[in-house]
Amino acid sequence: MYKGQHLPEHVGIIMDGNGRWAKKRGLPRSAGHVAGASNFRTIAKYCSQIGIRYLTVYAFSTENWKRPQEEVKALMRLFRQYLEEALRDFTEENIRTRFIGDVSVFAPVLRDLIEQVEESSKNKTGMVLNIAMNYGGRAELTHAMRQLAQEVKHGSMQPDEIDEAAIERYLYTAGQPDPDLIIRPSGENRTSNFLLWQSAYSEYVIMDILWPDFTTEDLDHALEEFVKRNRRFGGI
């Protein structure tokens, strides 16, 4: 268990590599997602135990709808299963679960579960877990800009009052600190539209491990790597 002194307050994880993990084993891609979902539970609980205050995981992007229908369906089944479990078993965890992204497009049964999970965990005082579903950084910024345009249209704001703080008020993560550390397993070197605004000064740790194989020790290594970095936020 990570015993380092310095913990990032907010960690983001791009849970990548489920498909390759399955392929390596001659299994369907959906089997990789099942393994990935199980690992997500392990890692989320671990982050909460070691004292991470905010964890944001990328579960389904605005672009993931392009995948074969069968894979999308398998992911929706997994989300439903996870949410049902969260309602049943997650109650003793001191984790507040929130969903970021446009969840209005999901099936009513999934939307109900999302609401119930958010509602039932809203008074928890421990880690905040943001699950990004139908999330895209560009879509999030587009949404924020539309809201600001409405304010200007209704006269409750002047164009020159639009500043960074005003934009942040309309992000899904409003009121939360920006991620200090973003971990990307599976070795890909790109942001994939994850927390575009919020990650301006995040430290990225890219690891050559597929998500279902990513262990709590790997998380510890990412935290150790983060501590070594010298964050200057544009200063010297």
| Nearer to ligand FPP among residue 20 and residue 124 (C-beta) | 20
- Rounded distance between C-alpha atoms, residue 179 and residue 67, angstroms: 28
| Nearer to ligand FPP among residue 42 and residue 150 (C-beta) | 42
Does the protein bind ligand FPP through residue 55 (CB under 6 A)? no
Among 10, 200, 190, 31, residue whose Cα is nearest residue 100: 10
Is 89 known to be catalytic? no
Phi, psi of 172 (to 5 degrees): -65, -25
Is 16 known to be catalytic? yes
| Nearer to ligand FPP among residue 90 and residue 211 (C-beta) | 211
Contact residue for ligand FPP among 8, 12, 17, 179 (CB under 6 A): 17
Residue 213 DSSP class: G
Residue 189 DSSP class: -
Residues β-bridged to residue 181: 11, 203
Give the nearest distance from C-beta 131 to ligand FPP in angstroms.
5
Contact residue for ligand FPP among 9, 20, 45, 213 (CB under 6 A): 20
Among 19, 24, 187, residue whose Cα is nearest residue 204: 187
Does the protein bind ligand FPP through residue 79 (CB under 6 A)? yes
Quick one: 154 exposed, middle or buried, by C-beta within 10 A (0-12, 13-18, 19+)?
exposed
Contact residue for ligand FPP among 28, 49, 64, 111 (CB under 6 A): 64
Does the protein bind ligand FPP through residue 18 (CB under 6 A)? yes
Give the nearest distance from C-beta 40 to ligand FPP in angstroms.
5
Does the protein bind ligand FPP through residue 15 (CB under 6 A)? yes
The Cβ of residue 105 has, within 10 Å, a number of other Cβ atoms equal to: 12
Q: Whats the size of the chain, residue-wise?
A: 236
- Report the interface residues with ligand FPP, using CB under 6 A: 15-20, 33, 36-37, 40, 59, 64, 78-79, 82, 131, 211
Q: Which residues are catalytic?
A: 16, 64
